[in-house]
Amino acid sequence: MDNARVNDPEPLRSQRIARIVLALVLIGLGAWTLDEFLPALAWAGILAIAFWPTYQEARRYWPPGHHNILLPALFTLLIALVFVLPIVVAGMQLGKELRTIFAWIDNARHNGIPVPDAIGHLPLLANWTRVWWQQNLSDPDAAADFLTRLWNPEYFHTGRQVGIAILHRMITFGFCLLTVFFLFKDGDVLVLQLRHASARAFGPGGERIGKQTIASIHATVNGLVLVGLAEGMLLYMVYLFTDVPRPTLLGAATAIGAIIPFGAPLFFCFAALLAFAQGSTVGAIVILATGTATVFVADHFIRPVVIGSATRLPFIWVLFGILGGVATWGLLGLFLGPAVMSALILLWREWTETA
């Protein structure tokens, strides 16, 4: 009789329901508790997935018994340097530029701003632009008044908010690196646990979806980051060739912008305007032509091959995933968006093929 009660399906069913409800409640409470740290955890997962093959390869040549702490710490330090060094260099360069800008503003208030030679080469409104410039900027008093009106006190408040946002991002990045260290350190155990969990929850299809998601993140990192850096390096050499001012800063900004599809044109068009303002019409044409050709080849040929071949995903869905992900999650969406689209397409194909 007691055995019959124990094996009664009603209590077992109610226990399963209770466990599911308890699990959902605990997951919700955990997500609520970690709300401030979720971006750091997401970035840590992306970085760990991106660098995991390299880490595994390095472990093969690392002395046995010494990789549990030192090698994860070394890889975490290398990742930190990859991200921190460019920011430090760009910050130092920006500091120099700000000193130059302040000196230029001070000189403009006392001496005015002469009419640039490039205004005479404008195809339209050249005379009107020259007259406006002479009335508002060439005369020292008019220039001082014009610059004073531009100097809005609200800029100080905006700068303070930007500083707070940068500090918040730095703290998030610190927790991200800490999480990356532990992901490298305990990665093998975590992978095994995830395989068992997916098999119990979703069956064999769970591991396929996981592998597809990981492959999508790998391909997206290669297709966006590496191709974007290559675009920035190529256009940096063009900036050097055309004598654009501050080519290093412009090249770095172009590389960062090129990570997002169609982001690089904002920067190489600005570089072309700088070249034109210096009177180099040929240089401006060279920058526009080279930049347009580079972005066209990268976005229509290289990225579709790099990302689409690994994810078996048409590039139009990769593009929608990237842009929609950025609109939803910010920079995280660059990598989460294509991963989500890749998993959805895999589910669609399995469902339609088995139907």
Give 167-218 pLDDT, tens digit per residue: 778 888 889 999 999 999 888 888 888 888 888 877 777 778 888 888 888 8
Closest by CA to 268, choosing from 235, 225, 305, is: 235
* pLDDT of the residue at 234: 92
Greatest alpha-carbon span in the chain: 104
* pLDDT of the residue at 204: 75
Give 225-277 pLDDT, tens digit per residue: 888 888 989 999 999 898 888 788 788 888 888 888 778 899 999 998 888 87
Mean of all residue pLDDT scores within the chain:
79
Q: What is the DSSP string of 114-156?
A: PPPGGGGG-SSSHHHHHHHHIIIIISHHHHHHHHHHH--THHH
* % of the chain exceeding 90 in pLDDT: 9
Closest by CA to 45, choosing from 145, 263, 191, 164, is: 191
Please give the Cα distance from 80 to 174 (Å, whole number). 9
Chain length of the chain: 355
For residue 97, what are its two tokens? 């530029």
Whether residue 3 is predicted with pLDDT greater than 60 in this model: the reply is: no
Please give the Cα distance from 185 to 48 (Å, whole number). 11
Which stretch of DSSP H or E encloses residue 15? helix 9-33
**Between residues 102 and 248, the one the model is more confident about:** 248
Total-model pTM: 0.70
Amino acid at 326: V
Give 74-94 pLDDT, tens digit per residue: 999 998 888 777 667 666 766
Closest by CA to 321, choosing from 257, 242, 261, 250, is: 261
258 CB burial (10 A radius; 0-12, 13-18, 19+): buried
Mean pLDDT on 61-68 = 69
* pLDDT of the residue at 219: 83
3-state DSSP call for residue 355? coil
Whether residue 106 is predicted with pLDDT greater than 80 in this model: the reply is: no
* pLDDT of the residue at 1: 47
